[in-house]
Structure 1
Amino acid sequence: MPSPSASKIAYQILKGFEKSFRWYSRITSAARERFEQADWRAVQTAARERIAIYDQSLAEVVAEIYQSCHPHKQDQDFWRSLKQHYLKQLDHHGQFELAETFFNSVIGRLFRHQKIDDDMMFVLPSRCYLPGQVRASVINSFDARGRIRDTLEAILDRYSFRIPYANLERDLQHLERYLRDSFSREQLASINKVEILQSVFYRNKAAYLIGRMCTEGNPIPFVMALMHNKQGQLVVDTLLTERRDLSVLFGFARSYFMVDTQHPAEVVAFLQELLPNKKHFELYISLGYYKHGKTVFYRNFLQHLQHSDDLFEAAPGIKGLVMAVFHLPTYGVVFKVIKDEFAESKKITRQHVKDCYRLVKMSDRVGRMADTHEYVNFRLPRTRVSQALLDELLDVANSSIELTDTEVIIKHLYIERKMTPLNIYLDTETDPQKVAEAIEDLGQCIKQIAAANIFPGDMLHKNFGITRHGRVIFYDYDEVCYMHQRNFRALPKSDDPYALDTLSVAPDDVFPEQFEHFIVGKRHLKALLKQKHPELMDPAWWRTIQHEMAGGLIKDVLPYPQQQRFKSRYGGKEG
Structure 2
Amino acid sequence: MEELKEELLSTDGKLDFAIGFKGTVAIGFQSPQSGYNLKVIRNTPTEQYKWGVFEGVPSVLEKYGRVHVINRTGSMLDNIIFYRVKLERAWFTNALLQELLNDASECVTLQGESLFFRHLIVQSKLIPLPVYLENSSQAESEAAIINLGHCIKNNMAANIFNKDLDARNYGVGVFGGVYLFDYDALEQFTEVKIRTNQNQFEGEEDIPEWFFEDGVIFLPEEIESGLRIPNRSLRQLFREVHGDLLQVDYYERIQDELGVGKVPSARVYPERYQIN
- Which structure has more relative contact order (CA 8 Å, sep 6+)? It is 2
What's the offset of the Cα at 1:465? 0.4
1:424 paired residue number: 131
Q: Hey, what's the Cα distance between the residues in 2 that align with 1:433 and 1:341?
A: 39
1:460 aligned to 2:169?
A: no
1:301-320 aligned within 5 A: 301-320=4-23
**Aligned in 2, Cα 1:467/1:560: closer, same or farther, shift over 3 Å?**
closer
Q: Hey, what's the Cα distance between the residues in 1 that align with 2:42 and 2:154?
A: 29
What's the offset of the Cα at 1:500? 5.6
1:346-357 aligned within 5 A: 346=51, 347-349=53-55, 350-357=57-64
2:266 partner letter: V
1:557 aligned to 2:266?
A: yes
1:369 aligned to 2:72?
A: no
Gaps of 5+ in 1: 1-297, 570-575
What's the offset of the Cα at 1:501? 7.4
**Aligned in 2, Cα 1:513/1:303: closer, same or farther, shift over 3 Å?**
same
What's the offset of the Cα at 1:499? 5.2
Selected match of 2:141 from 418, 435, 440:
435
Q: Hey, what's the Cα distance between the residues in 1 that align with 2:242 and 2:7?
A: 42
1:159-178 aligned within 5 A: none
1:519 paired residue number: 227
- On the 8 A contact 1:456/1:480 being kept in 2, the answer is yes
Q: Hey, what's the Cα distance between the residues in 1 that align with 2:4 and 2:125?
A: 14
- More helix as a share of residues: 1
Please state whether the residue corresponding to 2:12 is helix, strand or coil: coil
2:150 partner letter: Q
1:213 paired residue number: none
- On the 8 A contact 2:40/2:119 being kept in 1, the answer is yes
**Aligned in 2, Cα 1:486/1:315: closer, same or farther, shift over 3 Å?**
same
Post-superposition Cα deviations, 1:367-393, rounded to whole Å, max 9, x if no partner, equal: 100111001122211111110001111
1:484 paired residue number: 190
Q: Hey, what's the Cα distance between the residues in 2 that align with 1:559 and 1:515?
A: 22
2:32 paired residue number: 329
Selected match of 1:445 from 148, 151, 155:
151
Q: Hey, what's the Cα distance between the residues in 1 that align with 2:180 and 2:219?
A: 20
- On the 8 A contact 1:365/1:449 being kept in 2, the answer is yes
1:133 paired residue number: none
Selected match of 2:175 from 442, 463, 469:
469
Please state whether the residue corresponding to 1:375 is helix, strand or coil: strand
1:95-106 aligned within 5 A: none
Q: Hey, what's the Cα distance between the residues in 1 that align with 2:85 and 2:169?
A: 24
2:3 partner letter: N
Post-superposition Cα deviations, 1:32-76, rounded to whole Å, max 9, x if no partner, equal: xxxxxxxxxxxxxxxxxxxxxxxxxxxxxxxxxxxxxxxxxxxxx
- On the 8 A contact 2:39/2:120 being kept in 1, the answer is yes
1:556-575 aligned within 5 A: 556-557=265-266, 559-560=268-269
Please state whether the residue corresponding to 1:495 is helix, strand or coil: coil
Task: Give percent identity, aligned residues only.
Answer: 27
**Aligned in 2, Cα 1:561/1:473: closer, same or farther, shift over 3 Å?**
closer
What's the offset of the Cα at 1:480? 1.1
- On the 8 A contact 2:101/2:109 being kept in 1, the answer is no
- On the 8 A contact 1:489/1:510 being kept in 2, the answer is yes
Q: Hey, what's the Cα distance between the residues in 2 that align with 1:497 and 1:333?
A: 51
Please state whether the residue corresponding to 2:5 is helix, strand or coil: helix
- On the 8 A contact 2:176/2:270 being kept in 1, the answer is no
Q: Hey, what's the Cα distance between the residues in 2 that align with 1:383 and 1:305?
A: 10
Please state whether the residue corresponding to 2:43 is helix, strand or coil: coil
What's the offset of the Cα at 1:442? 0.4
- On the 8 A contact 2:143/2:272 being kept in 1, the answer is no
Q: How many residues align?
A: 269
Q: Hey, what's the Cα distance between the residues in 1 that align with 2:167 and 2:270?
A: 23
Q: Hey, what's the Cα distance between the residues in 2 that align with 1:510 and 1:556?
A: 22
1:379 aligned to 2:82?
A: no
- On the 8 A contact 2:177/2:269 being kept in 1, the answer is no
**Aligned in 2, Cα 1:501/1:549: closer, same or farther, shift over 3 Å?**
closer
Post-superposition Cα deviations, 1:369-420, rounded to whole Å, max 9, x if no partner, equal: 0111001122211111110001111221111111122111111121011100
- On the 8 A contact 2:223/2:246 being kept in 1, the answer is yes
1:408 aligned to 2:111?
A: no
Post-superposition Cα deviations, 1:424-469, rounded to whole Å, max 9, x if no partner, equal: 111222x211111110000011011111111122111000000110
What's the offset of the Cα at 1:348? 3.0
**Aligned in 2, Cα 1:476/1:563: closer, same or farther, shift over 3 Å?**
closer
Q: Which has the larger radius of gyration?
A: 1
**Aligned in 2, Cα 1:307/1:533: closer, same or farther, shift over 3 Å?**
same
Please state whether the residue corresponding to 2:106 is helix, strand or coil: helix
- State the TM-score, normalizing by the size of structure 1: 0.44
1:348 partner letter: F
What's the offset of the Cα at 1:359? 2.1
Selected match of 2:217 from 490, 509, 521:
509
